[in-house]
A and B are shown apart, each in its own frame.
Chain A
Amino acid sequence: MDRDRSRREILQAAAALAGCGVLLRLSVRPAAATPEMMKDAVRNVIGEALVKKGKVKLDLPPLVENGNSVPCTVSVESPMTADNYVKAIHIFNEKNPQPNVISVKLGPRAGRAGFSTRIRLADSQTVTAIAELSDGSFWSDDIDVIVTLAACVEEPKP
């Protein structure tokens, strides 16, 4: 009797442990960022400043077949002279595990305010670009993107 119970207890404990393992594994999976996390990330960069729409042009394909590599171009209207130039450009997203994508510092030496890169998108979401001008103003543009095959889902090759 006593032996039986201990055996049952051991089995229960083992089952509980296995359950914990499953939970642990699940909790390792990334929780997607939320639009609130993106707002926090934006606040960290721009502080209390007001962001106006315009001047910035964010160019992304509206329908993305593969989220692992999405061509992305940002350009900002600016004369790029010594006293009127774009200081920085930031890209944020809503639903990747992390809200930041890239932050770029520029100066009048750039000649033209803009750059291109390739980004990852984990889900259909809104991508935002924010530019900081030398006069301290912030301008933004955002674009809604539909992603059919998300980044981060494919398993690595063994």
Chain B
Amino acid sequence: MARALIHVPATAKKGEIIEIKTLISHVMETGYRIGVTGQPIPRDIIDDFVCTYNGEEVFHATLFPAIAANPYISFFTVATESGTLAFSWTDQHGATQVQTAAITVE
């Protein structure tokens, strides 16, 4: 779907609260703008974002057109064990993009 940037610390201490930053390139077209032809530009947004930590959901956001283009979301989670963080963005048409990041917990 698009290019996504994810920032997760590569290593963390067990129990430490880590900040995760994510950004995906997407127009987030609101559906309220009028195009050059005078017709409204159809709505095209990412409406769902989920982060799972070793398969367990830790953060889930429902986005609306009021989120700026190229949605940036940063949030926190507790580093519990080494493993994989999976991030998935789903747009209104149901297309999903999944990206993963590995973390080592000492």
Task: Please report the total number of A residues contacting B with Cβ < 8 Å.
Answer: 36
Task: Please report the total number of B residues contacting A with Cβ < 8 Å.
Answer: 35
> How many cross-chain pairs have Cβ atoms below 8 Å apart between A and B?
107
Give Cα distance in the complex from A100 to B18, angstroms: 28
B66 touches A93 (CB 8 A): yes
- A 105-145 binary contact with B (CB < 8 Å = 1; else 0): 11101111011111111000000000000000000000000
Give Cα distance in the complex from A105 to B53, angstroms: 15
A97 touches B65 (CB 8 A): yes
Taking the complex as formed, is B13 at the interface, i.e. its CB lies under 8 A from any CB of chain A? no
Interface residues of A (CB under 8 A from B): 25, 28-30, 68-70, 93, 96-98, 100-107, 109-112, 114-121, 151-152, 155-156, 158
A-B contact pairs, 9 of them (CB 8 A): A101-B66, A105-B57, A109-B77, A110-B78, A116-B72, A118-B67, A118-B71, A120-B65, A155-B34
Interface residues of B (CB under 8 A from A): 17-18, 30, 32-36, 38, 40-41, 53, 56-69, 71-78, 80
